[in-house]
Amino acid sequence: MHEKPNAAAAVGDELLVIGAGAAGLFCAARAAEGGRKVRLVDHGREAGRKILISGGGRCNFTNSGARPECYLGEDPAFCTTALSAFGPGDFLDHMRRWNLGWKEKARGQLFCEQRARALRGALVADCRRSGVRLLLDAAIEGLQPQGQGFRFRLNGRAERARQVVVATGGLSFPKLGASDFAYRLARELGLRLVERRPALVPLCLTGPLQEFSSGLSGLSLPVAIRCGDTRFGEDLLFTHRGLSGPAVLQISSYWQPGREVRIDFLPGRRLEELLGTADGSRQLLSTRLAEYLPRRFCQAFADRFSGNPRVAECRGRVLERQQGWWQDWRLKPAADEGYRKAEVTRGGMATEELDPYTMECHKVPGLYFIGEAVDITGWLGGYNFQWAWASAFLAARALSL
Ligand SMILES: Cc1cc2nc3c(=O)[nH]c(=O)nc-3n(C[C@H](O)[C@H](O)[C@H](O)COP(=O)(O)OP(=O)(O)OC[C@H]3O[C@@H](n4cnc5c(N)ncnc54)[C@H](O)[C@@H]3O)c2cc1C
């Protein structure tokens, strides 16, 4: 008679999931439901801390339009399998099962109706219900493949596991427990890493640019922003240190130090059309543009950068120059605000090292990487959690009995 392996599994048959964030919690619960004996460990005192603060406390947990084009990495198409196997609709099935509601904000962004705490609670409760052993405040060291599994030290004690899922996330928000665990392990095992950089992060300005943006700190306006061939239409926010807001966070993922960012303050319009009806007007350009843009911004921008011709003068070269200022403002940010302020980490575990159907390492059978630790980074708007759920689902499905 066959005995259910779960029932009498020795510690060496366990599945160890490292990192009780979005990906780790979801993967552990699914694998335990699939009959595995699972231990989920985290070095923090609480599970899912980023879930709690995400989306302003309401967690933008997915985006109904999630598709590979909304992700960055050496090979964004890598996430096609995960998103096909487990799309936004599949996560909504779990939301219904947990009796959690949601609201759609702009562009398919789905937020929890209750506080994000309720979603974190549901993920933890799922783990408990399915028998996951959750160990917080735990130190994992010396993880190494050995024989048919892995050995490691957990709080100083030698232990074994049959397989290991690494779900320790990226480097952003170190105060919430981010660590380089996944990258260190990859290096020790000879796995290739893609260079890491802060992403979805505010950009810093210096000199007159910083003085300008600091003077407008708190002011937000819709813009089109570009870096190379990538363009986003979203809101830009001026801050004391430089630029932020969704437009800037989005473009920051494509920006590198030394590169130029281009901003159109009149997206979807043309300056000459806005001035067209005012032929012969003695009105100042900033006064005219204040009909379309915040007055304070128009005045400050004209004073510091564009100059302020009368509308009647805006023809030929003058018009061209003004178009350049208001519709193609080019600036070089000095830096980004770093991991302290970055919502995510770009780069990480090279996807060519992983099987896109299971997230298992080709070179180290039994070792899986999921979530933000992998070189797949989503746009702002729920795409990163969707990647966490989808990659966790693939690993759990492959690991279930
Ligand atoms: C302020 C903020 C707001 C965000 N808002 C959104 C949003 O609204 N929508 C969205 O899609 N994305 C959002 N994100 C991004 C999203 O939170 C992450 O992409 C997602 O949490 C990644 O999930 P993960 O499980 O891979 O990593 P994490 O959620 O970061 O979890 C990693 C876990 O591993 C643990 N860990 C790390 N090192 C070790 C170690 N050495 N030993 C043991 N445990 C370890 C950590 O304590 C943590 O619990 C936001 C991020 C931030 C910082």
Identify the pLDDT of residue 7: 39
The Å distance, Cα 351 to ligand 1 centre, comes to: 19
Question: Which protein residue's CA is at the shortest distance from atom 6 of ligand 1?
Answer: 54
Per-residue pLDDT tens digits for 13-23: 899 999 999 99
The Å distance, Cα 338 to ligand 1 centre, comes to: 16
Per-residue pLDDT tens digits for 288-340: 999 999 999 999 999 999 999 999 999 999 999 999 999 999 999 999 999 99
Question: Which protein residue's CA is at the shortest distance from atom 42 of ligand 1?
Answer: 43
What is the bridge-based pairing of β-strands 102-104 and 71-72?
unpaired
Q: Which residues contact 193 (CB under 8 A, 6 or more apart)?
A: 183, 186, 187, 347, 348, 349, 350, 375
Identify the pLDDT of residue 172: 95
Q: Is the CB of 20 under 6 A from ligand 1?
A: yes
Q: Is the CB of 143 under 6 A from ligand 1?
A: no
Identify the pLDDT of residue 182: 98
On whether the CB atoms of residues 321 and 350 are closer than 8 A, the answer is no
Identify the pLDDT of residue 276: 75
Low-confidence winner among 5-19, 232-246, 314-328 (lowest mean pLDDT): 5-19
Which one of 54, 120, 376 would you pick to mutate in the ligand 1 pocket, going by the greatest count of ligand atoms within 8 A of its CB? Answer: 54
> E strands along 147-285, which residues?
149-154, 157-161, 163-166, 193-199, 203-204, 220-227, 230-238, 242-244, 261-264
On whether the CB atoms of residues 50 and 173 are closer than 8 A, the answer is yes
Burial of 330 (0-12, 13-18, 19+ CB in 10 A): exposed
Rounded to the nearest integer, the mean pLDDT of the chain is: 95
Question: Which protein residue's CA is at the shortest distance from atom 47 of ligand 1?
Answer: 177
Q: Which two tokens stand for residue 364?
A: 């180290």
> DSSP letter at 310?
B
Ligand 1, residue 111: give the atom nearest the CA.
8
Confidence grade of residue 9 (pLDDT, cut at 50, 70, 90): very low
> What is the mean predicted confidence (pLDDT) over 78-85?
98
Question: Which protein residue's CA is at the shortest distance from atom 13 of ligand 1?
Answer: 54
Burial of 22 (0-12, 13-18, 19+ CB in 10 A): buried
Confidence grade of residue 278 (pLDDT, cut at 50, 70, 90): low
Confidence grade of residue 106 (pLDDT, cut at 50, 70, 90): confident
Ligand 1, residue 385: give the atom nearest the CA.
11
Residue whose structure tokens are 């964004």: 76
> What is the mean predicted confidence (pLDDT) over 351-366?
98
Identify the pLDDT of residue 4: 38
Q: Which residue has the higher pLDDT, 280 or 349?
A: 349
Question: Which protein residue's CA is at the shortest distance from atom 17 of ligand 1?
Answer: 50
Identify the pLDDT of residue 280: 66
The Å distance, Cα 201 to ligand 1 centre, comes to: 15
Which residues sit opposite 63 in a β-bridge?
109
Identify the pLDDT of residue 11: 55
Q: Could you tell me the domains of the chain? A: 11-198+341-399 (3.50.50.60), 203-336 (2.40.30.10)
Please list, residue by residue across 150-173, b when 16 or more beta carbons sit within 10 angstroms of its beta carbon and e when fewer do: bebebeeeebbbbbbbbbbbbbbb
The Å distance, Cα 252 to ligand 1 centre, comes to: 19
Which residues sit opposite 110 in a β-bridge?
62, 104
Ligand 1, residue 181: give the atom nearest the CA.
41
- pLDDT of residue 6 exceeding 90, the answer is no
Phi, psi of 357 (to 5 degrees): -95, -20
Confidence grade of residue 10 (pLDDT, cut at 50, 70, 90): low
Ligand 1, residue 20: give the atom nearest the CA.
49
Q: Which residues contact 351 (CB under 8 A, 6 or more apart)?
A: 73, 74, 75, 78, 374, 375, 376
Q: Is the CB of 384 under 6 A from ligand 1?
A: yes
Q: Is the CB of 63 under 6 A from ligand 1?
A: no
> What is the mean predicted confidence (pLDDT) over 231-245?
98
Confidence grade of residue 55 (pLDDT, cut at 50, 70, 90): very high
Q: What is the pTM of this model?
A: 0.95
Question: Which protein residue's CA is at the shortest distance from atom 27 of ligand 1?
Answer: 169
> Which of 221, 225, 226, 224 lies closest to 298 in space, CA to CA?
221
Which one of 168, 176, 196 would you pick to mutate in the ligand 1 pocket, going by the greatest count of ligand atoms within 8 A of its CB? Answer: 168
Burial of 284 (0-12, 13-18, 19+ CB in 10 A): middle
Per-residue pLDDT tens digits for 135-164: 999 999 999 999 999 999 999 999 999 999
Q: Is the CB of 179 under 6 A from ligand 1?
A: yes
